Amino acid sequence: MKNIFTDCLWKNFGAAIDMLTGVIVLCPDELWGKDRRFFYMAYHTVIFLDYYLTHPVREFRPGLPYTIGDMDNLPAEAVDDVLPDRQYTKEEFVEYLGSIREKCKRLILSASEETLAERWIRDDEIDMHGLCPGLVEAG
């Protein structure tokens, strides 16, 4: 049963990552350079995808570095306080997504039943990268 679940999970994650890659590739260059909201949304999606696929979380090393910004002084287009250190190219995003895709595939297909049942982010990892401050366990 685990193999059916992990195969299905991987196929869905793989398809979603492929779709995200396609959206970035197909984004017109003028939109990529001018529509900062699109750029920030793409960045937010990619960084958090990588973050949540990192187990244990303490080993997270973003391929496209960021800085946690001041919530009272964020760019108008920002999605949250996770701000890219610069305007990354579409090519950089695509390369990063390729490595995230492989990471995702490896993680899912090699996961044991115990790993799949574990809490993903431990209490001592919550504030580690500034991405999930104050996160509390649901349930």
Cβ atoms of 134 and 81 closer than 8 Å: no
Cβ atoms of 62 and 83 closer than 8 Å: no
**Is pLDDT of 43 > 50?**
yes
pLDDT at 42: 96
54 against 115, higher pLDDT:
54
pLDDT at 37: 92
pLDDT at 85: 96
Question: Rounded mean pLDDT of 60-72?
Answer: 93
Q: What is the DSSP string of 33-79?
A: HH-HHHHHHHHHHHHHHHHHT-SSGGG---SS-EEEPPTTS--TT-S
Residue whose C-alpha is closest to residue 83's, from 62, 63, 64, 69: 69
pLDDT tens digits for range 78-133:
999 999 999 999 999 999 999 999 999 999 999 888 888 887 777 777 776 677 65
Residue 95 CB-density burial (10 A; 0-12 exposed, 13-18 middle, 19+ buried): middle
Report the DSSP beta bridge partners of residue 66.
84
Counts for the chain of helices (H) and strands (E), in that order: 5, 2
Domain residue spans in the chain?
Answer: 2-118
pLDDT tens digits for range 16-25:
999 999 999 9
- pTM reported for the whole predicted model: 0.85
Q: How confident is the model at residue 7 (pLDDT cuts 50, 70, 90)?
A: very high
